[in-house]
Structure 1
Amino acid sequence: MMDATKYHVGYYPPPVEPGHVYEWPRKDHIEKAPIWCSVDLRDGNQSLIVPMSLDEKLEFYEMLVRIGFKEIEVGFPAASETEYEFLRKLIDENRIPEDVTVQVLTQCRDHIIRKTFEAVKGAPRAIIHFYNSTSVAQREQVFKKSKEEIKQIAVDGAKLVKKLSQEYEGNFLFEYSPESFTGTEPEYAVEVCNAVLDVMQPTPDRPMIINLPVTVEMSMPHVYANQIEWCSKHLKYRDSVILSSHPHNDRGCGVADAELAVLAGAQRIECCLFGNGERTGNVDAVTLAMNMYSHGVDPHLDFSNMPAICETYERVTRMHVYERTPYAGSLVFAAFSGSHQDAIAKGMTWRKEKNLHEWTCPYIPIDPHDIGRTYDADVIRINSQSGKGGIGFLLQQNYGYNPPPRMREDLGYRVKEVSDHQHKELSVQEVLYVFESSYLNHDAPLRVKAAHYIQNPDSTITANVTVTINNGEPIDCSATGNGRLDAVATALEQATGMHFTLVHYSEHALDTDTDSRACCYVGLKWASGKETWGCGTHTDIIVAGVRALVSAINNK
């Protein structure tokens, strides 16, 4: 039996100020993208069972640059020889683009700060990110120090960082984090941050980053947003401060924390691709950016080749992008439900017919093509739950076939029967096989060997047909009808003794070139009430129509 009494609310809401009304709840959308800082190579890397090698880190770093990250935390160089060597490789081999700033992490400890500057010396542009924990739990249980003593650790760290930045070659910017911010009293967190700011003396042209991390999620996202807005209003040097958020995902609310933090005044987000990070992970950069994109906000990050990004991520981290991960997962656009497939297919058709630029397709929040996905492989997926709309859409999208609605329904039952029997999803090629083997150009047991037509004075058509049944002796027959297909149908009825009614005929071009094949569909209704369907193709539309008729007869 689970015992909830051992837990209690462990976060600290901002002080209540008379007359104060929070502004962020009145905002309903994010208007522009924040500054993005990838922490994949630090937080993400230290969460891996097997951390990335030097070459793997370099490949990941180059991918982050291609995606468009302008700030990249490359490691904790004082804590790992691999991370030290990696940082030196970036600097010594001039691998840092002019518009990219690398970031290094250090605790507020003398020897760690000194080694960090040794690692980062000569950097064209680097953020020195220093931190110490300020939470009630850490003060009481880990450090056993007072508020003043904890604040002094931050101040001493800031003084040493400022001193060394003037002694070492390089272009240095600064970031401070009161680690475990979510377990810290907001007024105390601001007190510590302001003490650090007094040391660093940022200016509008050389601002400093103050990062308020969700080191552990301890509250609902709106509480964090309140903390961000309150701190934003009480930080000193506010026009010289870039307010940053670093959400983790312990409660599964990392994306909500980040989005509400931006509404509340955060100007920068530290994040990892696909939410990688310690414990439950860091906030997912892909989801955050694509959420903005889906609302018409340019995130300034390029995920147009999502499959390649996923492949690289999985290979070098040995992690797996869960199939239902928003935007990136292999199944996030997949519709197996028949009703969903039908709505998607109709939405796609509507968009094409109306020549729409705006994306409004049911069930699909963004155009899969925008991130390098395809409709056939990623959207309409076929199994025993699928319906005629999606199956018909796939045939039309990939092979040009556009069977009529009742024929699609018949095909849907056939496809579901195959999927159900084999207990698997069917590929679009397998769907095509079911369609063609069920309907296309069937010439057994009945086969039309030849057909010739005479135009009569009364505008009717006489068809002279040669037919075989079960490869028997040829039978010659003729009949008159309102058109060629009607005349052939009547002749076949008379020759075979069958009785059916032609209930559907349609045609379209199957190809786009000058030698295009015609594609015809025929539906027949028999005396028993049963309907059968056939499809015929040929460069001659008359031949295609006869083939469809014969296929429908042979499907009796």
Structure 2
Amino acid sequence: MSQDKLVIFDTTLRDGEQSPGASMTKEEKIRIAKALEKMRVDVIEAGFPIASPGDFESVQAVARAVTESTVCGLARALDKDIDRVGEALKDARSARIHTFIATSPIHMERKLRMSPDEVVEQAVHAVKRARNYTDNVEFSAEDAGRSELDFLCRIFEAVIDAGARTLNVPDTVGYAMPHQFGETIRLLRERIPNADKAIFSVHCHNDLGLAVANSLSAVINGARQVECTINGLGERAGNAALEEIVMAVRTRRDMFNCDSGLDTTQIVSCSKLVSNITGFPVQPNKAIVGANAFAHESGIHQDGVLKHRETYEIMRAEDVGWTQNRMVLGKHSGRNAFRSRLIELGMTFASEEELNAAFARFKDLADKKHEVFDEDLQALVTAGGIEAENERIKLVSLKVCIETGETPTANLVLTFDGKEQAVAAGGGGPVDAAFKAIDSIIESGSELLLYSVNNITTGTDSQGEVTVRLQKAGHIVNGQGSDTDIVVASAKAYINALNKIMEPNARAHPQGDV
């Protein structure tokens, strides 16, 4: 039985980045894009170029860096948006323009203040303008999940005639139910006269925990593109998780007459990279990529798996990238082994100076812990990028004194705009004391929204990875730090977040709901 191709459209760099605090630098976006390319993702939505100069530069950089996947940019159905995307993607080997306009009655009336006729006219105009830049044009009907079916048929037929070759049906607010959403896709394909000229796509949000279920129901009913993100990252409750979509379709071949062309062995490493860069940890019981996804503690389960794996496992852990055959580095490992392992993990350096700096950090870490694992290397390289980008505040030294019954104190030395300053402060605990010492020098006026600690690997010598989220004047940032000393990792994360929130040209929070 022949199988259709299921196109995987990854929007981690665009919709995923709209999670509060998940904004990524240009360099971080390139790293994730290269990992997605290595996984053989079909389409990478790199951003929303009109949102800010930083977003434009990031999309442009990804378009230049990626050669195997199609690079996509998002645009409202406005000339200025479309032209900006066209400019950002002009160097892409394969480019797509993704334009959208709202189609639900409440959006047309309350947000757009346009009549249905005007919305159709605007959509057709946008698609035709996008076709001036590329033949690969996608049109999305924003809030399709609450749109009238007759109107969806009308606008989709019109944009197909105008040149759109992918039609996206988003459940923008996560309102749909699986049976209802699948039926919508089936009816659209049956009722639109020129439906055979376009691929039907879905983009589901997870507000009711149904993003993956809705997406799979759509695929069963003929959708052949799914828009998703690594780890389900996205604003509010997130998006459909790429790893769950891909493995559900591949595992249940009896239900799906299609398959993606992804190299699924890259899923776990890509998941860890995105988690490390954004500071959004993966819960242990998360499907496919959670630490417990293939763990068995029950004696009955363990016995069954040992006798015959398929008794309790429907997938092989190694098929998604979980493996015990990892190269473990230590303090005696050389530069070549270090470089080779980083290349295998999809991490490269722009210069020998960057490699040397990373190798020096690796040697310092190897002196603190006996074995350095892949997860340590991911955190190490990310930390290097953090330090290189943010120069205003740097940690020089930190000494913390704690004693039962006494107030913890932190003695801190840091440089701020090149000037070294020392301060001591007390607090409710060692981390609180360290943060108060930093605040006494920086006085940023920001609000702490989140403080989170996760172990990177197992063992008492594991590095702790700390995420700090700050808010100031509506600008939300994540800071990250890692160290075998949790208090030092916390101080690094707080300083990283402060550097970001104090940047004079900080990027605006990206927008663009589909």
Q: TM over 0.5: same fold? A: yes
Q: Tell me, yes or no, if structure 1 residue 44 matches structure 2 residue 1.
A: no
Provide the residue aligned with 1:343 in structure 2: 304
Q: Which runs of 5+ in 2 are unaligned?
A: 327-456, 460-514
Q: State the shift of 1:86 in Å.
A: 1.9
Q: State the shift of 1:374 in Å.
A: 5.0
User: Aligned in 2, Cα 1:307/1:156: closer, same or farther, shift over 3 Å?
Assistant: closer
Q: Tell me, yes or no, if structure 1 residue 271 matches structure 2 residue 220.
A: no
Is the 8 Å Cα contact of residues 174 and 208 (structure 2) preserved in structure 1? yes
Provide the residue aligned with 1:160 in structure 2: 129
User: Aligned in 2, Cα 1:90/1:375: closer, same or farther, shift over 3 Å?
Assistant: closer
Provide the residue aligned with 2:109 in structure 1: 140
Return the letter of the residue paired with 2:156: C
Provide the residue aligned with 1:450 in structure 2: none
Distance of 2:11 and 2:251 partners within structure 1: 24
Q: Tell me, yes or no, if structure 1 residue 79 matches structure 2 residue 39.
A: no
Where 2:13 maps in the other structure, the secondary structure is helix
Provide the residue aligned with 2:246 in structure 1: 289
Q: Tell me, yes or no, if structure 1 residue 104 matches structure 2 residue 73.
A: yes
User: Aligned in 2, Cα 1:339/1:375: closer, same or farther, shift over 3 Å?
Assistant: farther
Is the 8 Å Cα contact of residues 76 and 106 (structure 1) preserved in structure 2? yes
Is the 8 Å Cα contact of residues 127 and 137 (structure 2) preserved in structure 1? no
Q: Tell me, yes or no, if structure 1 residue 177 matches structure 2 residue 140.
A: yes
Is the 8 Å Cα contact of residues 71 and 89 (structure 2) preserved in structure 1? no
Provide the residue aligned with 2:264 in structure 1: 303
User: Aligned in 2, Cα 1:142/1:233: closer, same or farther, shift over 3 Å?
Assistant: same
Distance of 2:302 and 2:196 partners within structure 1: 51
Q: State the shift of 1:107 in Å.
A: 0.2
Is the 8 Å Cα contact of residues 125 and 172 (structure 1) preserved in structure 2? no
Q: State the shift of 1:46 in Å.
A: 1.9
Return the letter of the residue paired with 1:61: A
Distance of 2:124 and 2:260 partners within structure 1: 35
Return the letter of the residue paired with 1:41: L
Distance of 1:112 and 1:367 partners within structure 2: 44
Provide the residue aligned with 2:167 in structure 1: 210
Provide the residue aligned with 2:30 in structure 1: 58
Distance of 2:458 and 2:45 partners within structure 1: 43
Provide the residue aligned with 2:180 in structure 1: 223
Q: State the shift of 1:375 in Å.
A: 8.0
Distance of 2:322 and 2:92 partners within structure 1: 38
Provide the residue aligned with 1:362 in structure 2: 311
Is the 8 Å Cα contact of residues 255 and 288 (structure 1) preserved in structure 2? yes
Distance of 2:8 and 2:179 partners within structure 1: 22
Q: State the shift of 1:156 in Å.
A: 2.9
Distance of 2:66 and 2:33 partners within structure 1: 10
Is the 8 Å Cα contact of residues 243 and 267 (structure 2) preserved in structure 1? no
User: Aligned in 2, Cα 1:312/1:376: closer, same or farther, shift over 3 Å?
Assistant: closer
User: Aligned in 2, Cα 1:74/1:172: closer, same or farther, shift over 3 Å?
Assistant: farther
Is the 8 Å Cα contact of residues 37 and 71 (structure 1) preserved in structure 2? yes
**Deviates further, 39-48 or 119-128:** 119-128
* CA deviation profile, 1:132-190 (whole Å, cap 9, x unmatched): 0011221232223322222222123234333x43xxxxx44111111100010011011
User: Aligned in 2, Cα 1:30/1:186: closer, same or farther, shift over 3 Å?
Assistant: farther
Return the letter of the residue paired with 1:154: A
Distance of 1:78 and 1:375 partners within structure 2: 44
TM-score (norm 2): 0.59
Identity %: 29
Return the letter of the residue paired with 2:55: E
Number of positions where the alignment pairs a residue of Structure 1 with one of Structure 2? 326
Query: 1:524-535 to 2 correspondence within 5 Å?
Result: none
Query: 1:109-508 to 2 correspondence within 5 Å?
Result: 109-162=78-131, 164-165=132-133, 171-200=134-163, 208-295=165-252, 299-348=260-309, 361-373=310-322
**Deviates further, 248-257 or 299-308:** 299-308
Distance of 2:127 and 2:269 partners within structure 1: 41
Distance of 1:148 and 1:374 partners within structure 2: 55
User: Aligned in 2, Cα 1:284/1:307: closer, same or farther, shift over 3 Å?
Assistant: closer
Q: State the shift of 1:240 in Å.
A: 1.7
Where 1:40 maps in the other structure, the secondary structure is coil
Provide the residue aligned with 2:424 in structure 1: none
Specify which of 47, 50, 70 is matched with residue 42 of structure 2.
Answer: 70
Is the 8 Å Cα contact of residues 6 and 259 (structure 2) preserved in structure 1? no
* CA deviation profile, 1:228-269 (whole Å, cap 9, x unmatched): 011111224223211111111111111111111111111111
Is the 8 Å Cα contact of residues 30 and 263 (structure 1) preserved in structure 2? no
Return the letter of the residue paired with 1:39: T
User: Aligned in 2, Cα 1:344/1:428: closer, same or farther, shift over 3 Å?
Assistant: farther
Q: State the shift of 1:285 in Å.
A: 0.7
Distance of 1:72 and 1:376 partners within structure 2: 30
Return the letter of the residue paired with 1:102: V
Q: State the shift of 1:59 in Å.
A: 0.3
* CA deviation profile, 1:82-131 (whole Å, cap 9, x unmatched): 2211232244xx4231x421111000122222222222234332111111
* CA deviation profile, 1:50-78 (whole Å, cap 9, x unmatched): 40111100100000000111211111111
Where 1:323 maps in the other structure, the secondary structure is coil
Distance of 2:281 and 2:188 partners within structure 1: 37
User: Which contiguous aligned blocks of 4+ residues in structure 1 show a shift greater than 4 angstroms?
Assistant: 29-33, 374-377
Distance of 2:324 and 2:303 partners within structure 1: 14
User: Aligned in 2, Cα 1:189/1:306: closer, same or farther, shift over 3 Å?
Assistant: closer
Return the letter of the residue paired with 1:312: L
Greater gyration radius: 1
Return the letter of the residue paired with 2:53: E
* CA deviation profile, 1:304-362 (whole Å, cap 9, x unmatched): 144422321111111111111111100112222222222222225xxxxxxxxxxxx22
TM-score (norm 1): 0.55
Return the letter of the residue paired with 1:188: F
Is the 8 Å Cα contact of residues 180 and 215 (structure 1) preserved in structure 2? yes
Provide the residue aligned with 1:457 in structure 2: none
Is the 8 Å Cα contact of residues 35 and 269 (structure 1) preserved in structure 2? yes
Is the 8 Å Cα contact of residues 7 and 260 (structure 2) preserved in structure 1? no
Distance of 2:128 and 2:241 partners within structure 1: 34
Distance of 1:319 and 1:77 partners within structure 2: 24
Q: Which runs of 5+ in 1 are unaligned?
A: 1-28, 166-170, 203-207, 349-360, 378-426, 430-556
Distance of 2:16 and 2:289 partners within structure 1: 17
